[in-house]
Structure 1
Amino acid sequence: MKNYQLKRLSDQPILQTSDVKPSIDGFDVLGAFNPGACIVNNEVILLLRVAEAPGARPGFVKVPLLEEQNGVPTLIIKEFPEPEEDFDPRVVTIEGKAYLTSLSHLRLARSKDGIHFTVDEKPFLFPARMDESYGIEDARITFLDGKYWITYTAVSEHGPGVGLAVTTDFLDVERIGMILPPPNKDVALFPEKINGKYVLFHRPMVSDIGRPSIWLAESIDGEHWGNNRYLFGGRGANNPRFAWEGGKIGGGPEPMLTDEGWLLCYHGADETHAYSLALALLDKTDPTSILDRSDLPLLSPELPWEREGFFPNVVFSNGWVRWPEGSDKAGQIWVYYGAADDGVGLAELVQS
């Protein structure tokens, strides 16, 4: 993939946490990042992941989550004494049970020029099911069969799984439900059927054996998935040259069809949890066939706002757009990326 480069279109974030209002009284927005992206009626649509948390009280940890009350998933706030030992401010374990200290939802943002966005004040998708009780995160958007398929990470006490929702206009949305159970994430559908079947990539999470890797699955209806196959994993475990993806990898936005094949943007993380972006090229008719792959990352955290934030040293993309014919940017590929779990940056994918 030496003929591709990612060039930042701005040395500042195009969206920041401060641009987003809390959706719940008494909550603060901790981050607005990792947007899914598409173009609808000559307008760029972003689906931001917005992480919110209730105001803190000294000496205590507050946990927002859904709890079933009279059969209805209901937002509640639990409060615990702060652990005496050091703990991750994002995840806290109380009496052997892990909780997230923030609750994420998906928020809509719109722009005519792809740079200056108006952010809705209310969520587009808010946790509403018990398998979303810890939040919904990191949407990918694929236009297929006349509708937009939105895949997202649905988090609960049982781990992260993959939810699916569909919309035709980003006004009304239908939840389909969980299509891949925990532990799994980083899922997007291909924007065309391949050999008559729907195809998606996903990233199962592993424990004692194996390392995180990207897989493919097929479906005849878009809801029930099978024929799972390993696609590729990180190469850094035994090769210092690829240390930038030696910790973990995962797929990014929906694959994009080019004359050469399917472009797949993915992220790699090193052993220090610094995230970078790279590309793979897959065969048009057999996406299990890898034609090319980045030797070096195309984008790594370098600017202060990419290196410092809620989760430092991260550039992470799950949204890109190719501007349509007739626009003044026709053919350009713009990549929207989360930076340090705190804001959104913008880069252009160009061929050299």
Structure 2
Amino acid sequence: MTIRRSDMNPIMAPNQVVASNPDWEVIGVFNAGVAKYKDEVILLLRVAERPLNDDPTVYLTPLYDAASDRMTVRSIPRTDDIDFSDVRVIKTPAQNYLTSISHFRVARSKDGIRFEIDDKPTILPGSMYESYGIEDPRMTQIGDIYYITYSAISEYGICTAMMTTGDFVSFERQGNVFHPDNKDVVIFPEPIGGKYYSLHRPSCSHYGQPVMWIAESSDLLQWGNHRFIAGVRDGLWDEGRIGASAVPFLIEEGWLEIYHGADKNNRYCVGAMLLKKDEPWKVIARSELPFMQPEQRFEVDGFFGNVVFPCGALVEGNIVKLYYGASDTYVGYAEVPLDLIKASLKKED
């Protein structure tokens, strides 16, 4: 049993995507939600862009201005009191900004490998809570509707918002479903005991750590009864942070959740946890070692390297088809035997 990465990896790269503005450049296409629609595989891509800049004395940060409903650019002088140590963030004494802004773009494929990417953005930032961009969509099909959860980034923090679609042509925003700071929200694909469930990852600023919780809902919009279900583990591959990645899917033993974890050096790997079928807030087993880790060049080197980060998977028989972000730059594809994932699980005490 081995993971089979596509010989065409990375299956998507920034140079395959047309920038939304002629004065901007695409620096990443990654962390895509995935769904089957009719006879096609649909990816909802996160596309990260930034303004072209030939002035070494300033940094240009892109922003969405909700009041005017347009993209803008702010110029920030490169002074000694500004921290540029993280390539993703500009830390000023007043507030932090992102070095790029993300939108979503649909890509379609008949074979799940060769995709046609829309020439223009499918979904741009659209509210005051999305002024720094929209990121990392996950898509859950319930009936004929696809529920898309995503991170909405702004000066107010990281909310999780939701939109719905029935055809991947028109989309309806449903607003913020989790307040800041919260991300990595995935919705279970069917009700359990008459209630809907979602996994989420609140950020605890004082006492806690970035760990996984579960919530329940009667209408997919109002979420409550929040409970902790799984934490980080000292000395292991997921000692720094964890979060849900793919939509959970049901196997004979229970709900299988493919999740991401990072160590204290921000190396992101992929593992799984098995949740009880009728009580999904109970963890039965969990990967002691990751079943997938950054190995290939495009996974190790990039805008933010040493990252494999799935936001979606398709399950066909004993094969899990994993679409994953690599080094915050590319989309990769891998086929993982279900038995390999199950073999990585160790029963919880």
SS, match of residue 18 in structure 1: helix
**1:270 maps to 2:263:** yes
Spell out, residue by residue over 1:295-319, the C-alpha distance to the aligned partner (whole angstroms, 9 max, x if none): 1001111111111100010000111
Deviation for aligned residue 1:211: 1.1
2-structure distance, mates of 1:22, 1:15? 14
**1:335 maps to 2:331:** no
2:122 maps to which of 124, 132, 135: 124
Letter in structure 2 aligned against 1:278: G
2-structure distance, mates of 1:266, 1:256? 12
1-structure distance, mates of 2:3, 2:286? 15
Partner of 2:288: 295
1-structure distance, mates of 2:146, 2:318? 21
Letter in structure 2 aligned against 1:37: V
Letter in structure 1 aligned against 2:70: T
Partner of 1:36: 33
Letter in structure 2 aligned against 1:82: R
Identity of aligned residues (%): 43
Partner of 1:76: 72
Deviation for aligned residue 1:58: 2.0
1-structure distance, mates of 2:204, 2:290? 24
TM-score by length of 2: 0.93
Partner of 2:18: 21
Partner of 1:97: 95
SS, match of residue 31 in structure 1: strand
User: Mind listing any 5+ residue stretches in structure 1 that lack a counterpart?
Assistant: 324-329
SS, match of residue 293 in structure 1: strand
RMSD between superposed Cα atoms in Å: 1.5
User: What is the aligned length?
Assistant: 336
Runs of 4+ in 1 over 6 A off after TM superposition: none
1-structure distance, mates of 2:300, 2:329? 10
Trace 1:55-204 onto structure 2 (pairs within 5 A).
55-56=52-53, 57-69=55-67, 72-84=68-80, 87=84, 88-204=86-202
Letter in structure 1 aligned against 2:302: G
Deviation for aligned residue 1:155: 0.2
User: Mind listing any 5+ residue stretches in structure 2 that lack a counterpart?
Assistant: 341-349
1-structure distance, mates of 2:306, 2:258? 18
Spell out, residue by residue over 1:40-81, the C-alpha distance to the aligned partner (whole angstroms, 9 max, x if none): 112110011100001113211111112243xx4432111111
Spell out, residue by residue over 1:13-62, the C-alpha distance to the aligned partner (whole angstroms, 9 max, x if none): 11111111101221100100010001111211001110000111321111
Conservation of the 8 A alpha-carbon contact between 2:87 and 2:304? no
2-structure distance, mates of 1:121, 1:67? 23
2-structure distance, mates of 1:46, 1:74? 25
1-structure distance, mates of 2:66, 2:127? 9
TM-score by length of 1: 0.92
2:306 maps to which of 310, 313, 322: 313
1-structure distance, mates of 2:219, 2:83? 47
Deviation for aligned residue 1:209: 0.7
Deviation for aligned residue 1:82: 1.6
Deviation for aligned residue 1:287: 0.3
Partner of 2:346: none
Conservation of the 8 A alpha-carbon contact between 2:215 and 2:225? yes
Partner of 1:254: 247
After TM superposition, the structure 1 stretch with the greater mean CA deviation from structure 2, 54-63 or 260-269, is: 54-63
